[in-house]
Amino acid sequence: MLVAHTAAMTVPRFVQIHREDSAALRHELAQGLLVERAMVSPKFLYDALGSRLFEAITELPEYYPTRTERAIFDAHAAEMAAIAGRGRTLIDLGAGSCEKAARLFGALQPLRYVAVDISVEYLRQTLASLQRQHPQIEMVGVGADFSASLTLPPEVGRGERLLFYPGSSIGNFTPDEALRFLRQARAAGGAGSALLIGVDLVKDVETLERAYDDPLRVTAAFNLNLLRRLNALLGCDARVEDFEHVALFDVERSRIEMHLQARRALTLSWPGGQRRFAAGERIHTENSYKYTVEGFERLLREAGYARTRCWTDPQRWFAVFLAS
Ligand code: AVI
């Protein structure tokens, strides 16, 4: 009996609640290309190659968010855990390699770790090896697309929940979408839950633009890879060499915008459609909003979080909020 129980505790469980609908994806891509200001959702940046390129971006000296957030967690994890409470169910939204959450296991001592990512397949190997290192933590992998709506399956269990959303992924939503997401996170957490979230802050334009247009051109490759996805998913005939990567900070909207800009006049064609681009015309591929501490606190309050704590780095480049 004891053996069976131990075995059950050391094997992660998996549940896939998101199914890819390729017809819907094709429709979404075609619609985006046909509007006046062509756009493609940033979710299409993350195929296997795109995810690897993003991992490489996080190691660039110019891309300060990852290492700045890590330093904030390293310096303040014990205090965060003391406020959030130990022994919770830690729900990692967009877990990826699970590395960020795993670094907090020592401080937070979660009873259960729920890693949510769009593909459960991506989580299988990572969770299996993480489970071996932390046999005392019950682990669940959930394949879900929470960019549209955040609903958690019953496998998450009933314990008090700490939702974890690091990396300033909230910045890839518009402020309205961010507010909706924060409200949904509150509802998904339930009574007594808390949210630990990383947010990139407004800073000088040069630092911001270099972070999204690095001299090694890794971010350019990450952005241009979207054309390969257009070809694979939509049957489009885009040529990577016909476009260039553009990343600019819009001060008024407080966001980095990434675009793919046509180097010459060209036409993109796919089964059932086509779109002409003049030289210099762009496809908008991503927004990355930058907040002030006060602005994000306001958003948290509007979403219904009554108590917030915030930690930043000495330069105030990045902030981690604990909201309950
Ligand atoms: C995932 N997300 C928070 C990144 C960001 O900074 O907005 C994506 C990214 N795009 C270009 N570089 C990194």
Query: Which residue has the CA at smallest separation from atom 2 of ligand 1?
Result: 169
pLDDT of residue 9: 56
191 SS3 class: coil
Mutation probe of ligand 1 site: the residue of 57, 218, 291 with most atoms within 8 A of C-beta:
57
Contact 225, 219 (CB under 8 A): no
Q: Which atom of ligand 1 is nearest to the CA of 54?
A: 13
Find the 167 Cα to ligand 1 centroid distance in Å.
8
Q: Which atom of ligand 1 is nearest to the CA of 247?
A: 11
pLDDT of residue 7: 44
- 324 residues of the chain, pLDDT tens digit each: 444 444 445 799 999 887 888 999 999 999 999 999 999 999 999 998 999 999 999 999 999 999 999 999 999 999 999 999 999 999 999 998 899 999 999 999 999 999 999 878 879 989 999 999 999 999 999 999 887 788 899 989 888 999 999 999 999 999 999 999 999 999 999 888 999 999 999 999 999 999 999 999 999 999 999 999 999 999 999 999 999 999 999 999 999 999 999 999 999 999 999 999 999 999 999 999 999 999 999 999 999 999 999 999 999 999 999 999
Find the 189 Cα to ligand 1 centroid distance in Å.
25
Query: Which residue has the CA at smallest separation from atom 4 of ligand 1?
Result: 169
Find the 147 Cα to ligand 1 centroid distance in Å.
15
Nearest-angstrom CA–CA distance, 256 and 289:
6
DSSP for 41-105, please give it.
-GGGG-SHHHHHHHHHHTTSSS-HHHHHHHHHHHHHHHHHHHHH-SS-EEEEET-TT-HHHHTTH
Q: Which atom of ligand 1 is nearest to the CA of 169?
A: 3
Query: Which residue has the CA at smallest separation from atom 10 of ligand 1?
Result: 212
Nearest to 278 by CA among 287, 291, 268, 288: 268
Kindly report each contact of residues 310-315 with a partner whose C-beta sits within 8 Å and lies 24 or more positions away, as own/partner. 311/72, 311/75, 311/76, 311/79, 311/80, 312/72, 312/201, 313/68, 313/71, 313/72, 315/68, 315/203
- In a 10 Å sphere around its CB, with 0-12 CB exposed, 13-18 middle and 19+ buried, how is residue 124 labelled? middle
Which whole-number Å values give the CA distances from 75 to 83, 198, 313, in the listed order?
15, 14, 9
Find the 4 Cα to ligand 1 centroid distance in Å.
43
Contact 308, 84 (CB under 8 A): no
pLDDT of residue 3: 44
Find the 288 Cα to ligand 1 centroid distance in Å.
7
Find the 81 Cα to ligand 1 centroid distance in Å.
27
- In a 10 Å sphere around its CB, with 0-12 CB exposed, 13-18 middle and 19+ buried, how is residue 307 labelled? exposed
pLDDT of residue 118: 83
Here the tokens at position 240 are: 């990577």
The torsion defined by the Cα of 266, 271, 273 and 278, in degrees rounded to 10, comes to -10
214 SS3 class: coil
Find the 210 Cα to ligand 1 centroid distance in Å.
13
pLDDT of residue 104: 98
Contact 120, 15 (CB under 8 A): yes
Here the tokens at position 103 are: 């670094």
Which whole-number Å values give the CA distances from 159 to 78, 115, 243, 286, in the listed order?
21, 15, 49, 36
Nearest-angstrom CA–CA distance, 105 and 112:
10
> In the structure, which protein residues have their CB atom closer than 6 angstroms to any atom of ligand 1?
57, 65, 167-169, 171-172, 212, 219, 286, 288
Strands 138-143 and 161-165: unpaired
Find the 184 Cα to ligand 1 centroid distance in Å.
22
Query: Which residue has the CA at smallest separation from atom 3 of ligand 1?
Result: 169
Nearest to 120 by CA among 150, 149, 98: 98
